[in-house]
């Protein structure tokens, strides 16, 4: 497979329409987007512009009403439910605004969970989960429950969970949204480090300062891409 | 491996939130335990086959009369005719219950016994534990007995040489030929089966021997002959009966014979009550299922965000479903185990509570099939409900769940849950009304004035063995006992009576009034037959209304006299019955009229009754009643010392108060009422848990709505009332349905009620109000929570 | 006149204390249209909820006209809130099982307004907002913009002097958002004080003034 010739992700004419009894809402009105292997891309735009919907489609949590989605050269726009779960498990790592750690599981078990769903052997799981926790600097907290951690620490565990399975791409939905600016900066630094080590990252934010961290930012407005610019990639 | 990890996670999540797990396990346990315990009782009594080989071919013979049928109603001659001509039956055996005084081994003891003809064990097909049973070949030998395993243990220390040993039964030398297992308990849980010395059991009252058709005093059972059906046997017995009716119109006109399955005859009386309890248990099981389903649905909804996270990080639907199933099975296992413990306690408790005259009580044991079915039902319901989130996640809304924590799209399942709660409330009300009707009926039954004194009264049975006491000896013994008792202050006011009231003796006699044409059977008037000593009326508190009472001069050899009650006096119309004569086989003069009293049961109005003086019509089955303020123990010791002086070989039975006898006569309704009350309490508790669960879930789902309302200016009280109103609307709907169903189903219990309408509006309204109050209380905590919603936090949960 | 003096709000987190608002001093004259801006987590919504008297766990002084809100009992704050404040939320928060008409009627029902009078007030608002034709529909039968229109109608029906809006266009397309802003502008011109939290410079441009928050501090006021 030739990485330079073929982007990791290619979206063509992606549309998403929500129907209610009387109205149909066009959340996405034909998105074209390519993301290359190893790229760090920010999707920016005011709230309501459709960026969360786009992220859900990228993460195979939702299916587009129309359009094609190629991931690693495979058409994934209209996979069955179980196929989507399998692809999501192997190719995609999620980071949410509200962390979404599972409260009953310890830090280690949270990070291990996607590997369990993949059917990985226990020894390999332990090794990978520990490595991921080392990477985000949370290995010393692996026995704690999420409720015993601060928001910034929880988000770092969530990042570890996202990277533990070595996915093709990390999808981050306003990862700093629930954090104060200091902890927010720390999480942004962590993402940049991961990027330097080779990770492909796609981040949704409405904060232009954070968008500037990325190689490239795409601006959405009313469900369309209105502007693309190459950021500083600080 | 995966299963163990999920098991561990499931256990941990329950330990971290024990409230949910506790309620779910308790609900399961109560449902499974209650259902199993009650069903085991019903099964043991109604459904389980008798413990005899080919038990379905065992039949009981009965007599068909103008007023219905009698089970234990054979005269010697009728029995012999049926046995000889009934070719569709084999091993036709007669028997009657008989108290047996056992002497010759240690202290004299009185044991429950049965006197049978020789074919009795052949019919049942019993294999003895030791020795042999007597068979048809032993007919007319007498002096042989088979004892129970229990008596073998108690009286003979399980010695192997008991077979062949000599004892005296009611004074008659008898050889023990064998021992049978405790499972043989026909017609009662007897300790001794005694072979009749003739072709039929001995008669308790003088009769004309084997040719007698007048005195009907024993029961009969048989086995269907090979190839014969119940229908064949019935047709044949009917024909025999009709022939006898033509041949002997004096005694047999209009009567005939029939057979019924032996198992069915044992339970006729209690069938309706037990089926009612079975209905109650079905209600509780349904409520428990609804509650478990509701709980699991709520838990699933509350966890939608977590499940969405799991899906986002790549869990397949199967993996999520498996986790939910493991969690459900952990609950089911815990609930099932707790349920089995409750069930085994429940069976013991029910057997302990059950009236001792309930037939086949000893056949009751924990029924594993029922336990299995109940566990499976509740578990399946719980698992299905628990899997609902996975089923629903086939719609692509994981993204929304991640954002809003699963607050959208809940209306369908909330509506389904509301339906479950409505059903729970309705079922609970049905049970409450059932219990309320039973309790009211029982209270009214207990309040009935039986027509005699019940307090400060003691009673003891004092039968004497006919073998040692002939007619005159019986009279002498009783009059001697009575005389000596009057010397003691404790027993100064004593009297003799046969039978004691409220013990279901059924002794009655057909009679003709002098000067009126005799109608003959079956239209002849019938009166309850009592044999008493002169002091009986004063001792028991029956008032003399006209004429004179009995006197100590009314003895053998003097003109026979009888006292009648007011009910019977009415049969004489406007004429004064005193001085008139009635025919009971001989002519007897009515000398007095006493007030009415209830004899057969508290529920039945007083019947026409005859009181004959014991010194003219003695029976060896007299009981003693004593009016005294002394304790039963004092009475017992006074009676024992008097009896010991007269006959050291005669055991004295337990002294009981008349109050206890009255109490015991209401055993079955009280048993039913207690159980129904327990079940309705359980049902109300479960329904309250259901209402509480639904409302607190609804409040947590509607936090943001409550927040909006508060932000718009609603007072906390208004928000609280909103919750209360919603809960009460559901409960009200349930109550309405329950009232309708109870009114419709009330007819089914009408036959079990005494002086209480099955649709008594006061009971219905009172219990509906009570249930609504409970529902309001169950809504109170969630309503308080809704009032305390912090609008800021609620609205920020975007 | 809204007057905030030294408003502070903080959470304890183990040994450390996290400040959500620090020494906030703001004056908002009657009839002003103010936008509160700043990054996520800056304390914008918290400030709005303090203004709306939903939040009472704070220190400092808050004067609403002549009323010292910081000294009032919960009951008096509620009375003051009912009298003066109308709320608009990002996600509308219409009650799903009530019709448009019933949603708008709701605040009046909590204010003991007579039934006949209420009918008139609701009818008047339906006319002004041009949603008479939608009065029997349920919220899920409306588009997002229409839902927010109904939510604003509900906020103003009880004739508040202040409207507090938390990202009122956050879930809307830009042209729907512009309609909402124009509506606010008209209400403001009618004399209503408006305080909105927004991320959008475009929306802020409809107002008279922007208050910028960062990490709980007021960093810029113009």
Highest mean predicted confidence (pLDDT) among B101-110, B226-235, B301-310, B751-760: B226-235
State the SS3 of B351-404.
HHHCCCCCCCHHHCCCCHHHHHHHHHHHHHHHHHHHHHHHHHCCCCCHHHHHHH
| Contact indicator for B689, B27 with CB cutoff of 8 Å | yes
Interface test with B, best of C52, C96, C110, C197 (most B CBs within 10 A): C110
Helix (H) or strand (E) holding B64: strand B58-65
β-pairing, C217-221 vs C209-214, is antiparallel
Q: Which of B586, B620, B652 is the last residue of a domain?
A: B652
C54 and B712 within 8 Å at the Cβ level: the answer is no
B715 and C158 within 8 Å at the Cβ level: the answer is no
Residues B426 and B473 in one domain: no
Rounded average pLDDT over B215-233:
90
B272 assigned to some structural domain = no
- Provide φ and ψ at B745, rounded to 5°: -85, -10
Q: What is the nearest CA distance from B10 to chain C, expressed in angstroms?
A: 29
A118: which chain B residues are within 8 Å (Cβ-Cβ)? 314
The per-residue pLDDT for C215 is: 86
The least confident of A26-40, B694-708, C176-190 is: B694-708
Question: Is pLDDT above 50 for B291?
Answer: yes
Residues B327 and B394 in one domain: yes
C39: which chain A residues are within 8 Å (Cβ-Cβ)? 181, 184, 207, 209
Residues B343 and B487 in one domain: no
- Residues (pLDDT < 50) of chain A are 1-3, 233-234
B796 and C82 within 8 Å at the Cβ level: the answer is no
β-pairing, B526-532 vs B609-613, is parallel
List the single residue in C89, C110, C154 with the smallest CB-CB distance to B795.
C89
Q: Which residues contact B723 (CB under 8 A, 6 or more apart)?
A: B695, B698, B699, B779, B782, B783, B786
Residues B417 and B528 in one domain: no
B414 assigned to some structural domain = yes
Residues B481 and B420 in one domain: no
- Provide φ and ψ at B528, rounded to 5°: -65, 135
Q: How many Å apart are CA B168 and CA B145, to the nearest integer? A: 10
C169: which chain A residues are within 8 Å (Cβ-Cβ)? 47-48
Residues B475 and B617 in one domain: yes
CA distances from B597 to B501, B582, B593, C20 (A): 9, 21, 12, 87
| Domain C29-56+73-221 top-level CATH class | alpha beta
Question: Is pLDDT above 60 for B797?
Answer: no
Residues B358 and B244 in one domain: no
Q: How many Å apart are CA A225 and CA A214, to the nearest integer? A: 17
Q: Which of B187, B221, B254 is the last residue of a domain?
A: B254
List the single residue in A59, A88, A117 with the smallest CB-CB distance to B319.
A117
The per-residue pLDDT for C174 is: 84
Question: Is pLDDT above 70 for B775?
Answer: yes
B504 assigned to some structural domain = yes
B704: which chain C residues are within 8 Å (Cβ-Cβ)? 93
B662 assigned to some structural domain = no
Question: Is pLDDT above 80 for B187?
Answer: no
The per-residue pLDDT for B724 is: 92
pLDDT tens digits for B611-669?
999 998 888 889 999 999 888 889 889 999 999 899 888 888 888 889 888 888 888 78
B54 assigned to some structural domain = no
Q: Which two tokens stand for residue B433?
A: 């009304």
B715: which chain C residues are within 8 Å (Cβ-Cβ)? 78, 110
List the single residue in B708, B718, B792 with the smallest CB-CB distance to C93.
B708
C179: which chain A residues are within 8 Å (Cβ-Cβ)? none
Residues B621 and B691 in one domain: no
Position B406 confidence tier, pLDDT thresholds 50, 70, 90: very low
B712 and C78 within 8 Å at the Cβ level: the answer is no
B192 assigned to some structural domain = yes
pLDDT tens digits for C130-155?
899 999 998 888 888 889 999 999 99
Position B408 confidence tier, pLDDT thresholds 50, 70, 90: very low
- In chain B, how many domains are there? 3
Q: How many Å apart are CA B197 and CA B426, to the nearest integer? A: 61
The per-residue pLDDT for A172 is: 92
CA B493 from chain center: how many Å?
36
Question: Is pLDDT above 70 for C27?
Answer: yes
The per-residue pLDDT for B530 is: 92
Rounded average pLDDT over B458-485:
88
List the single residue in B713, B795, B798 with the smallest CB-CB distance to C110.
B713
Q: What is the DSSP letter of C65?
A: T
CA C94 from chain center: how many Å?
14
pLDDT tens digits for B108-130?
788 888 999 988 999 998 889 88
The per-residue pLDDT for B521 is: 61
The least confident of B39-48, B409-418, C183-192 is: B409-418
Burial zone of A38 (CB within 10 Å; 0-12 exposed, 13-18 middle, 19+ buried): middle
Strand partners, C61: C5
The least confident of B35-44, B430-439, B533-542, C187-196 is: B35-44
The per-residue pLDDT for B399 is: 52
Percent of chain B residues topping a pLDDT of 70: 91
- Provide φ and ψ at C162, rounded to 5°: -130, 135
Q: What is the nearest CA distance from A5 to chain B, expressed in angstroms?
A: 28
Q: Count CB pairs under 8 A between chains B and C.
A: 49
A88 and B398 within 8 Å at the Cβ level: the answer is no
| DSSP for B249-287, written as a single string | HHHHTT-EEEEEEHHHHHSTTTHHHHHHHHHHHHHHHHH
Mean pLDDT over each residue of chain C, to the nearest integer: 89
Highest mean predicted confidence (pLDDT) among B198-212, B720-734, C105-119: B720-734
Q: Where are the domains of chain C?
A: 29-56+73-221
What is the domain extent for residue B572?
Answer: 463-652
Residues B325 and B438 in one domain: yes
Q: Which of B652, B681, B716 is the last residue of a domain?
A: B652
| Contact indicator for B250, B77 with CB cutoff of 8 Å | no
The per-residue pLDDT for B396 is: 42
**How many other CB atoms are found less than 10 A from the CB of residue B572?**
17
Q: What is the nearest CA distance from A180 to chain C, expressed in angstroms?
A: 6
Give buried/exposed letters for B756-765 (b at 16+ CB in 10 A, else e): bebbbeebbe
The per-residue pLDDT for B17 is: 74
A150 and C13 within 8 Å at the Cβ level: the answer is yes
C91 and B798 within 8 Å at the Cβ level: the answer is yes
Residues B401 and B322 in one domain: yes
B164 assigned to some structural domain = yes
Of residues A92 and C96, more confidently modeled: A92
The per-residue pLDDT for B539 is: 93
Position C84 confidence tier, pLDDT thresholds 50, 70, 90: very high
B94 assigned to some structural domain = yes
Position B215 confidence tier, pLDDT thresholds 50, 70, 90: confident
Helix (H) or strand (E) holding C20: strand C16-28
Question: Is pLDDT above 90 for B308?
Answer: no
């Amino acid at each position: 497979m030739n990485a330079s010739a073929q982007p990791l992700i290619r979206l063509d004419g992606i549309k998403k329409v929500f129907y209610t009894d009387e109205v149909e809402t066009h959340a996405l009105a034909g998105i074209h987007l390519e993301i290359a292997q190893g790229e760090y891309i920010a999707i920016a735009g005011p709230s309501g512009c459709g960026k969360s919907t786009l992220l859900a489609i990228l993460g195979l949590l939702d299916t587009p009403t129309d359009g094609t989605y190629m991931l690693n050269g495979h058409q994934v726009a209209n996979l069955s439910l179980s196929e989507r779960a399998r692809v999501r498990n192997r190719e995609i790592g999620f980071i949410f605004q509200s962390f979404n750690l599972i409260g009953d599981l310890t830090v280690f078990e949270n990070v291990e969970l996607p590997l369990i769903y993949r059917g990985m052997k226990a020894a390999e799981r332990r090794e990978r989960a520990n490595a991921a926790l080392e990477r985000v600097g949370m290995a010393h907290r692996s026995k704690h429950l999420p409720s015993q951690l601060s928001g910034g620490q929880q988000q770092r565990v969530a990042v570890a969970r996202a990277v533990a399975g070595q996915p093709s791409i990390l999808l981050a939905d306003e990862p700093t949204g629930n954090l104060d600016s200091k902890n927010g900066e720390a999480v942004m630094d962590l993402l940049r480090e991961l990027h330097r080590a080779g990770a492909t990252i796609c981040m949704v934010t409405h904060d232009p300062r954070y968008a500037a961290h990325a190689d490239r930012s795409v601006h959405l407005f009313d469900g369309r891409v209105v502007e693309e610019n190459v950021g500083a990639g600080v | 491996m995966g299963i163990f990890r999920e098991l561990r996670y499931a256990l941990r999540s329950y330990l971290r939130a024990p409230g949910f797990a506790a309620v779910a396990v308790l609900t399961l346990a109560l449902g499974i335990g209650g259902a199993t315990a009650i069903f085991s009782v019903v099964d043991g009594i109604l459904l389980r086959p008798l413990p005899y080989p080919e038990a379905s071919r065992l039949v009981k013979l009965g007599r068909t009369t103008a007023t219905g049928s009698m089970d234990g109603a054979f005269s010697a001659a009728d029995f012999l005719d049926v046995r000889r001509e009934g070719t569709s039956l084999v091993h036709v055996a007669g028997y009657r219950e008989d108290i047996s005084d056992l002497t010759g081994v240690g202290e004299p003891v009185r044991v429950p016994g049965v006197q049978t003809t020789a074919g009795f064990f052949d019919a049942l097909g019993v294999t003895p534990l030791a020795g042999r049973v007597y068979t048809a070949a032993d007919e007319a030998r007498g002096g042989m007995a088979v004892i129970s395993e229990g008596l073998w243990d108690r009286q003979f220390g399980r010695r192997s040489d008991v077979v062949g040993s000599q004892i005296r039964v009611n004074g008659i030398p008898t050889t023990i030929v064998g021992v049978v297992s405790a499972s043989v308990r026909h017609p009662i849980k007897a300790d001794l089966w005694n072979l009749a010395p003739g072709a039929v059991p001995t008669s308790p009252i003088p009769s004309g021997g084997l040719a007698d058709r007048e005195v009907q005093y024993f029961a009969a059972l048989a086995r269907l002959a090979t190839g014969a059906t119940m229908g064949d046997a019935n047709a044949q017995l009917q024909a025999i009966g009709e022939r006898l009716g033509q041949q002997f119109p004096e005694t047999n006109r209009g009567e005939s014979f029939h057979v019924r399955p032996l198992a069915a005859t044992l339970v006729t009386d209690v069938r309706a009550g037990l089926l009612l309890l079975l209905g109650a248990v079905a209600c509780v099981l349904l409520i428990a299922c609804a509650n478990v389903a509701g709980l699991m649905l709520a838990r699933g909804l509350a966890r939608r965000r977590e499940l969405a996270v799991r899906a986002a990080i790549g869990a397949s639907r199967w993996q999520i479903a498996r986790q939910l199933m493991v969690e459900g099975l952990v609950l089911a296992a815990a609930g099932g185990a707790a349920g089995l413990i409750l069930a085994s306690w429940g069976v013991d408790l029910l057997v302990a509570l059950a009236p001792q005259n309930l037939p086949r009580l000893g056949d009751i044991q924990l029924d594993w099939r029922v336990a299995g079915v109940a566990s499976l039902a509740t578990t399946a319901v719980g698992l299905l409900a628990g899997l609902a989130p996975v089923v629903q996640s086939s719609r692509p809304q994981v993204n929304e769940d991640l954002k809003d924590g699963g607050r959208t799209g809940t209306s369908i399942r909330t509506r389904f849950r509301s339906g479950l709660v409505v059903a729970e409330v309705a079922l609970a009300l049905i049970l409450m009304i059932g219990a309320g009707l039973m309790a009211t009926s029982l209270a009214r039954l207990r309040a009935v004035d039986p027509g005699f004194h019940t307090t400060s009264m003691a009673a003891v049975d004092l039968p004497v063995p006919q073998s040692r006491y002939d007619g005159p000896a019986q009279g002498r013994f009783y009059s001697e006992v009575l005389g000596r008792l009057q010397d003691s202050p404790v027993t100064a006011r004593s009297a003799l009576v046969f039978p004691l009231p409220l013990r279901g003796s059924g002794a009655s006699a057909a009679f003709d009034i002098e000067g009126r044409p005799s109608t003959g059977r079956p239209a002849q008037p019938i009166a309850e037959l009592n044999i008493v000593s002169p002091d009986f009326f004063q001792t028991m508190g029956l008032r003399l209304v006209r004429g004179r009472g009995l006197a100590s001069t009314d003895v053998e050899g003097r003109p026979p006299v009888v006292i009648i009650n007011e009910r019977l006096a009415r049969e004489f119309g406007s004429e004064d019955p005193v001085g008139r004569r009635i025919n009971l086989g001989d002519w007897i003069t009515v000398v007095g009229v006493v007030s009415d009293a209830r004899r057969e049961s508290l529920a039945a109005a007083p019947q026409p009754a005859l009181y004959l003086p014991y010194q003219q019509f003695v029976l060896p089955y007299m009981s003693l009643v004593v009016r005294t303020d002394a304790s039963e123990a004092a009475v017992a010791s006074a009676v024992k010392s008097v009896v010991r002086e007269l006959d050291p070989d005669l055991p004295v039975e337990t002294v009981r108060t008349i109050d206890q006898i009255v109490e015991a006569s209401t055993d079955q309704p009280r048993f039913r009422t207690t159980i129904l009350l327990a079940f309705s309490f359980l049902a109300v508790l479960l329904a309250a848990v259901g209402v509480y669960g639904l409302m607190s879930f609804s409040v947590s789902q509607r936090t943001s709505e409550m927040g909006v309302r508060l932000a718009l200016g609603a007072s906390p009280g208004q928000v609280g009332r909103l919750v209360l109103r919603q809960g009460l609307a559901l409960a009200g709907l349930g109550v309405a349905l329950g009232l309708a169903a109870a009114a419709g189903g009330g007819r089914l219990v009408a036959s079990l009620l005494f002086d209480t309408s099955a649709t008594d509006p006061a009971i219905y309204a009172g219990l509906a109000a009570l249930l609504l109050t409970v529902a309001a209380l169950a809504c109170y905590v969630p309503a308080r929570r809704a009032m305390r919603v912090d609008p800021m936090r609620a609205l920020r949960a975007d | 006149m809204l007057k905030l003096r030294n408003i502070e709000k903080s959470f304890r987190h183990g040994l450390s204390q996290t400040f959500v608002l620090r020494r906030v001093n703001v004056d908002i004259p009657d009839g002003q249209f103010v936008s509160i801006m700043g990054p996520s987590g800056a304390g914008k919504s918290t400030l709005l909820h303090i203004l709306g008297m939903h939040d009472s766990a704070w220190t400092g002084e808050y004067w609403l006209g002549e009323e010292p809100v910081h000294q009032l009992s919960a009951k008096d704050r509620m009375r003051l809130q009912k009298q003066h404040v109308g709320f608009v939320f990002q996600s509308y928060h219409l009650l799903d099982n009530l019709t448009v008409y019933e949603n708008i009627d709701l605040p009046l029902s909590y204010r003991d307004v007579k039934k006949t009078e209420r009918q008139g007030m609701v009818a008047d608002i339906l006319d002004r907002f041009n949603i008479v034709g939608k009065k029997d529909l349920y919220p899920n039968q409306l588009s997002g913009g229409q839902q927010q229109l109904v939510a604003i109608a509900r906020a103003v029906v009880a004739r508040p002097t202040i409207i507090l809006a938390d990202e009122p266009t956050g879930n809307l397309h830009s042209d729907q958002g512009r309609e909402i802003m124009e509506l606010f502008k008209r209400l403001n011109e009618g004399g209503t004080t408006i305080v909105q939290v927004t991320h959008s410079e475009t929306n802020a441009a409809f107002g008279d003034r922007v208050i910028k928050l960062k990490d709980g501090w007021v960093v810029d006021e113009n």
